[in-house]
Each structure stands twice: as C-alpha cells, then as structure tokens.
Amino acid sequence: LCLTCLCSSPGCRAKEIKTKLGTLLQKPDSTIDFIIPYPEKPEKPPKAQKPSPEEALQWRDSLEKLLQNPYGFASFCSFLRSEFSEENAEFWVACEDYKKTKSPVKMAEKAKKIYEEFIQTEAPKEVNIDHFTKAVTMKNLVEPSPTSFDMAQKRIFALMEKDSLPRFLRSEFYHELIK
C-alpha cells in the first residue's frame, strides 16, 4: 500500500515524485530559478515634483491647471479617493487618452472599455451623468470618433469643477501644499 496516494500499486511513483518535488522546492539555487526567474526590481516612475505654494495657489483659478500638473493631479486624485469619487478623474483621464487614439480598431476597443467601465448602468466605476448625456454618448459610440465622449467628459469636468474642486481647496490635502 502506497501511503502517499493510498493506492495499492506496487510500482507507484507518487512517493518518488513527491520526494523529488520537495527537494527541488527546498534548494534555493535549484533549476526552478531558471524556469521561474525572480522579477528584477521594477523601476519606479519619477516622482512628480512638489509644486511651490505659489504654483499650488494657481489651482484655485482653474481645474485645468490642477489637472495639467502631475503633482496636483495626484493630490486631487488622492482627495477624490478619500471621498469615494475617484471615478470622475479616472474617466476624465480615460477620455483624454481615448482622444489621442489614431487607430479605428484601437479606438473602438477603448470606447467599449470606457463605456463598460464608466458609462453603462451598474458599471464598476459609473460616473454621474444625466440620461440625455448617456443617450448621446451611446449614440456616438455606434461609430466611435475622437469626440464620442466629449459631452460626458464635459459634464464630469463641470461636476469636478463645481463640486469636487471647491472641497479639495478647503481640504488638508491642499492646505499642506500652500504652506
């Protein structure tokens, strides 16, 4: 009786295989390192430079200036995440990326992904747009073009500008930057 797999075969190789596998897994410099190489340390992207207080103060004037500054955008996204509304900034970025797409095939793929992630009812990161804007956007997606999401993106931009930005400017996130 083989106690490894509980079979009654006299020539059972389960115990032999288990022993070899155990030996392989215990050796730190075994051939398994060649089969599954350890990933090298990924390079970290360069950190966005912290703006001067004067530069951060300019964000009060314009959401565009805030979104164009990598550090400002990251700070704004952190703030939105704390309010459970980061989908607005993510949607805005996805639309900006979408507009730069040249290939009709890639554009259709991206349009579908954006629709499924942000626009459709019960989407994982559904943005808050009115029914009319949603209907226009869906109609635009029949033949995707660089302007397919423009109306929805403008609505979300306006929402961030009128609602999220004023709260961000009153937040600790922002006040730490202008000190």
Which CATH number is 57's domain given? 1.10.167.10
Q: What is the largest CA-CA distance in the chain?
A: 83
Query: pLDDT per residue over 54-107, tens digit each?
Result: 999 999 999 999 999 999 999 999 999 999 999 999 999 999 999 999 999 999
| Count of domains observed in the chain | 1
pLDDT at 27 (0 to 100):
46
Q: Is the pTM of the predicted complex or chain greater than 0.75?
A: no
Does residue 70 form part of some domain?
yes
Does residue 10 form part of some domain?
no
pLDDT at 76 (0 to 100):
94
Mean pLDDT of 12-37: 49
Does residue 128 form part of some domain?
yes
Does residue 141 form part of some domain?
yes
Does residue 23 form part of some domain?
no
In the Cβ-directed half-sphere of 30, how many Cα atoms lie within 13 Å? 11
Token duo for residue 126: 């559904």
Does residue 1 form part of some domain?
no
pLDDT at 135 (0 to 100):
96
Where in the sequence is the domain holding 152, given as residue range(s)?
53-176
Does residue 6 form part of some domain?
no
pLDDT band of 9, cuts 50, 70, 90: low
pLDDT band of 29, cuts 50, 70, 90: very low
126 and 118 Cβ atoms separated by less than 8 Å: yes
Does residue 151 form part of some domain?
yes
Lowest-confidence pick of 36-45, 69-78, 141-150, 169-178: 36-45
The residue written with tokens 């392989």 in the block is 24
